[in-house]
Chain A
Amino acid sequence: MGALSILIFLPLFAALLILALPSSLKGSYRYIALVFTLAQLALSLYMYQQFDPTLGGINSISGYQFVEQIPWIRLDLGQLGKLEIDYFVGIDGVSLPLIVLSSFVMLMSIGASWHVEKSVKGYFALLMVLNMAVMGIFAALDFFLFYVFYEVMLLPLYFLIGIWGGARREYAAMKFFIYTLLGSVLMLLVIVGLYFSVVNPASGAHTFNILLMMNPSNYVDGSFFGFLGNYHEVFGVPARLVGFIVLFFAFAIKVPIVPLHTWLPDAHVEAPTPVSIILAGILLKIGGYGIIRVCYSIFPDIAADTNWWLALIGVLSIVYGALNALAQKDLKRMIAYSSVSHMGFVLLGIASLTAEGLSGAMFQMVSHGFLSAALFFLVGVLYDRVHDRYIYNFRGLANIMPTYTAYVAIAFFASLGLPGFSAFIGEAFVIIGAFNAEAMLTGVPRWMAVGGSVGILLSAAYFLWTLQRMFFGQTRLQGGEKWRLALTDLDTREKIVLLPALALALVLGIVPSLIFDNLNASVIQLLDTIKPYL
């Protein structure tokens, strides 16, 4: 069993251990979760350190590292050919940063769950299963395996939101589940279609191997998603375009893009703080990752045709999300909408089809990952103390919670793209990429870059305005003296959770090469596969 498999299945052992221990030891569950997640982070950092940045990955197996390929399901279906499913995992420059990010955010989430009291056993077990599924998604290179992890991720989330969530938790949990499932059942049909269109040249069997799906020469002539001379149409639309749209739809729900984002504010607001952290920090990245790994790599021809539309959706999400954030009166909802806006940059960067834009998008995903986690944690701090997060119920918090205010200010400034922090690098690179796209003839016009910049401006507006409304001025609290007593400043545990995230924002803002170096080869290779179709 290789390092990557250990990384994926470590949380599963933690979950089984937690389930096996009797309830009398329930105080130990959080320590088990903590220890296993720490081990996971250590392992992922080891992989980061061992990673060879010169290898590109994307569509060549030799470019992947920590590869494990074990035959899983082999079946002769007679006329339908042989079924070939592998346990096939590996990482390249695209998945490495996200894996490190995931283990980091998971750790933050465990830190945030320290005081959970309701059904502790179930809670930590579900959290660990979720952890496993997320790692699996980022590592899987077999579409079947990817799909299994993708769906397995939904179940723990449904229960985590539904049982430990807020007042309208049942509604939010179901809405989240239905949205994602709607995307993924249609994705399943495309997976089946791809399976029939692709043949493993080595064995002659149809395959679910994602890498083999990226190579045009592996497609059967005249098959449904065949590359060349494909006459298949679905209700008058070319089959490959349909396949791309369906897959994009599935991942776009996760990103989320406007107008498929409506599950996100509900899920975030109702979810408990640790789950919000995971949702914003990791799950939204699955959308972006899926678009790069699956949509763009398997359908490079369609990617080149449709990037104008994708960039447009990105710009719309940026501006619409920011405007919505501006109008929110609930702090958590505001941050949820800011996520929509920030993830729009990811889509714009990917769609720009330039090296700067793609790297910027990846960087933005990582940066948004821990920054949004920190933001949601900060909201949780407030909510834990007074069970309220209505912006207008607070005023002048700086006077009674100075340390907290400092942390919030840093997180806000980092998120709004102040130079020196990581979000600036991500957003700047995306905008540069989008701006250069016209010169590179990738089909994304300059005004979209301008649209993105407007988003940065708006994000400054809503973050600073919120800072002003809640933290400055005379202290005035809705709950009066009772709240004033409840609103104690950050304790040590909270500082321990927050400090690394904010430090990371600063470090990556100053030394972005920590991420870019590992990313570069993969980005270039992805662009090389798409370039011929531009």
Chain B
Amino acid sequence: MTYTVTAPITDVLDQIMASIPLFKPELLLIGGFIATIVSALFVGKRLRNFTFAVYLLTILITIYFLQAQLPTVATGFSGMWMIDPLSTYARIIIATGGGIIGLFIQQRHKLGNNGDVYSILLAAILGMNVLCNSSNWILAFIGIETVSIASYVLVGYFSQNKAQAEAAMKYALFGSVCAAVMLYGLSLIYGLTGSLDFQSPEQLQGLMVAPEPILTIALLFVFVGIGFKLSFVPFHVWSPDVYEGAPTAITAFLSTIPKIGALILFTRLYTAWSSTAFYFSDLTTSFILFVSITSMLVGNLAALRQKNIKRLMAYSSIGHTGFLLMAVFAYQANYPYLLFYIMAYVLMNLATFIFIDALEERTGSTALSAYAGLGRKMPILFTSLTVLAVSLVGLPPTIGFIGKLLVFTAVFDTYQMADEGAVLFLLIVGALTAVISLFYYFRIPFYAFLKNNESPDIVSSDSKILVWLGYVLTACVILLGLFPSILLNLITS
């Protein structure tokens, strides 16, 4: 990275002006951010859903701009900002997910003036876009912090009792420490290499000649920050408490969207760093293998003991993160299966949380045992939830299966070329944890259909839109499982 301080100021200005079109969706998000704040302040009291409308409009226009950006491969702002189809698709997924989360919040938290929450959501989306579009450590850090701060606020935003406030506090404390550690690691890397762009030759050369002990510390410190956002083992300890404590709409947000941005960043980092024959590449590769395997094992095994569905989903998402890292590991300049798995994951998780929330509203509980005998009262809802469980395990005919198959395919290809025992181990762990996960995902239909409960007390609910959205998402899970080409051809074209 060469900062153009020596260039004449007009050149710099020209470059910035030329780069602005690349920044259009993000500019729009910034505009939307301000607009929602203003609207929440002045209009929110009279027109209840006006802020939400502004939010949705912002999201829709952003998606429109993003899809117009699809074929673009470019860099701007002196190489700080880069755009390629991978990032654009990821941002479309993020924005779409953000839209669904917005609707989720709007439907579930109708009391009081909640307009601010939409501006926070937009800020989080902006932060994730930054993560997707940068190979510069400064921007990456800014992105991570934007997402983190927005997430802290979201977790605490609706807190009504001690547990929820505690969740927010835990999250903020853990997050701040991780950010500090990461920043320290970044400073070490900058000191060692004199460059802040992890894809730049300068940084790679610097890493090649750096002394091993200090390099190990620097790299691991940097991974701490990313690990916190992705919540892979051993930086996962915050997630079960926070998932359980946060309102379900926010849990749905935390378990899906922030991971996408961090994952894209990690993918770029891994591709850039793992390709040499030097110590830091070996370290990166070993790290991802280790983390992927332990996340799958720890996530799935710990989930076995959970009695609360939200905690269960927290551990399940740790397991899925391990699987996503497997996809990152096999990433070789083609992204369809990585994006496909991300999409599958987001789809399954959002739908699952929508149903969990609907059930929480009706039974007043997120304990698995509260579902006993409900299968007959709400057959369609629980059938959908069972379909989602099947997809989360990774069985056909669902999108989860296709996602798994594609990742296995990619990893197997790597194994065939590298012929390393560790990769084979990764594959076997990936396959066997599916069997483990069957145990706990199938607790849901187990309680709902197999257990009897003569008089389950449920209250009726009026938020029909959400449940219907859940059904639509579930239908997509099956449809895309049977005809994945619809989505895959879109990504690859």
Tell me the nearest residue of chain A to B336, going by C-beta. Answer: A77
B408 in complex: contacting residue of A173, A192, A224, CB < 8 Å: A192
Structural contact, A151 and B395, CB atoms closer than 8 A: yes
The secondary-structure label for the interface of chain A is helix
B485 in complex: contacting residue of A75, A78, A178, CB < 8 Å: A75
Of A183-191, A418-426, A488-496, the stretch lying at the interface with chain B is: A183-191
Task: Determine whether B79 belongs to the interface, using a CB cutoff of 8 Å to chain A.
Answer: no
Query: With A73-B484, A170-B446, A181-B434 in contact, is A192–B405 under 8 Å at CB?
Result: yes
Task: Determine whether A16 belongs to the interface, using a CB cutoff of 8 Å to chain B.
Answer: no
Query: With A78-B334, A147-B396, A232-B419 in contact, is A178–B439 under 8 Å at CB?
Result: yes
Cα-based distance from A77 to B406 in the complex (angstroms): 9
Distance (whole angstroms) from the CB of A333 to the closest CB of chain B: 22
Structural contact, A77 and B334, CB atoms closer than 8 A: yes
Of A37-45, A155-163, A256-264, A321-329, the stretch lying at the interface with chain B is: A155-163
Of B175-183, B223-231, B424-432, the stretch lying at the interface with chain A is: B424-432
Cα-based distance from A282 to B405 in the complex (angstroms): 28
> Which B388-411 residues have C-beta < 8 A from chain A?
390, 395-397, 401, 404-406, 408-410
Distance (whole angstroms) from the CB of B433 to the closest CB of chain A: 9
Which residues of the partner chain B approach A163 to less than 8 Å between Cβ atoms?
449-450
Distance (whole angstroms) from the CB of B202 to the closest CB of chain A: 28
> Which B353-370 residues have C-beta < 8 A from chain A?
none
Cα-based distance from A79 to B442 in the complex (angstroms): 37
Which residues of the partner chain B approach A235 to less than 8 Å between Cβ atoms?
421
Task: Determine whether B489 belongs to the interface, using a CB cutoff of 8 Å to chain A.
Answer: yes
Structural contact, B449 and A73, CB atoms closer than 8 A: no
B333 in complex: contacting residue of A79, A193, A234, CB < 8 Å: A79
Structural contact, A162 and B409, CB atoms closer than 8 A: no
Structural contact, A196 and B439, CB atoms closer than 8 A: no
Query: With A147-B396, A163-B450 in contact, is A185–B412 under 8 Å at CB?
Result: no
Structural contact, A223 and B450, CB atoms closer than 8 A: no
Cα-based distance from A196 to B427 in the complex (angstroms): 15
Structural contact, A159 and B445, CB atoms closer than 8 A: yes
Task: Determine whether A169 belongs to the interface, using a CB cutoff of 8 Å to chain B.
Answer: yes
Distance (whole angstroms) from the CB of A108 to the closest CB of chain B: 26
Task: Determine whether A70 belongs to the interface, using a CB cutoff of 8 Å to chain B.
Answer: no
Q: Mark B96-129, 1 if CB is under 8 A from A, else 0.
A: 0000000000000000000000000000000000
Structural contact, B442 and A177, CB atoms closer than 8 A: yes
Q: Mark A144-160, 1 if CB is under 8 A from B, else 0.
A: 00011001101100110
Structural contact, B397 and A152, CB atoms closer than 8 A: yes
Structural contact, B489 and A223, CB atoms closer than 8 A: no
Structural contact, A174 and B442, CB atoms closer than 8 A: yes
Structural contact, B431 and A185, CB atoms closer than 8 A: yes
> Which A177-211 residues have C-beta < 8 A from chain B?
177-178, 181-182, 185-186, 188-189, 192-193, 195-196
Task: Determine whether A485 belongs to the interface, using a CB cutoff of 8 Å to chain B.
Answer: no
Structural contact, B450 and A151, CB atoms closer than 8 A: no
Cα-based distance from A195 to B409 in the complex (angstroms): 9
Tell me the nearest residue of chain A to B387, going by C-beta. Answer: A155
> Which B372-396 residues have C-beta < 8 A from chain A?
376, 379, 390, 395-396
Task: Determine whether A20 belongs to the interface, using a CB cutoff of 8 Å to chain B.
Answer: no
A148 in complex: contacting residue of B397, B406, B431, B449, CB < 8 Å: B397
Which residues of the partner chain B approach A148 to less than 8 Å between Cβ atoms?
396-397, 401
Task: Determine whether B438 belongs to the interface, using a CB cutoff of 8 Å to chain A.
Answer: yes
B450 in complex: contacting residue of A76, A154, A169, A234, CB < 8 Å: A169
Which residues of the partner chain B approach A177 to less than 8 Å between Cβ atoms?
438, 442
Structural contact, A174 and B439, CB atoms closer than 8 A: yes
Structural contact, A173 and B450, CB atoms closer than 8 A: yes
Which residues of the partner chain B approach A185 to less than 8 Å between Cβ atoms?
431-432, 434-435
Cα-based distance from A75 to B336 in the complex (angstroms): 10
Cα-based distance from A170 to B372 in the complex (angstroms): 13
Which residues of the partner chain B approach A181 to less than 8 Å between Cβ atoms?
395, 434-435, 438
Task: Determine whether B463 belongs to the interface, using a CB cutoff of 8 Å to chain A.
Answer: no
Residue from A74, A173, A188, A223 with most neighbouring chain B CB atoms (10 Å): A188
Structural contact, A189 and B416, CB atoms closer than 8 A: no
> Which B440-459 residues have C-beta < 8 A from chain A?
442, 445-446, 449-450
Task: Determine whether B217 belongs to the interface, using a CB cutoff of 8 Å to chain A.
Answer: no
Cα-based distance from A442 to B449 in the complex (angstroms): 51
Which residues of the partner chain A approach B439 to less than 8 Å between Cβ atoms?
174, 178
Structural contact, B336 and A189, CB atoms closer than 8 A: no
Query: With A75-B489, A152-B396, A178-B439 in contact, is A196–B450 under 8 Å at CB?
Result: no
Structural contact, A188 and B397, CB atoms closer than 8 A: no
Query: With A119-B376, A147-B396 in contact, is A188–B405 under 8 Å at CB?
Result: yes
Task: Determine whether B2 belongs to the interface, using a CB cutoff of 8 Å to chain A.
Answer: no
Task: Determine whether B275 belongs to the interface, using a CB cutoff of 8 Å to chain A.
Answer: no
A80 in complex: contacting residue of B409, B428, B485, CB < 8 Å: B409
Which residues of the partner chain B approach A77 to less than 8 Å between Cβ atoms?
334, 336-337, 406, 409, 492
Question: 7 A-B pairs, CB-CB below 8 angstroms?
Answer: A75-B489, A79-B333, A170-B450, A185-B431, A189-B408, A192-B412, A224-B416
Closest 8 CB pairs of A and B: A78-B334, A148-B396, A185-B431, A162-B450, A192-B412, A151-B395, A192-B408, A151-B396
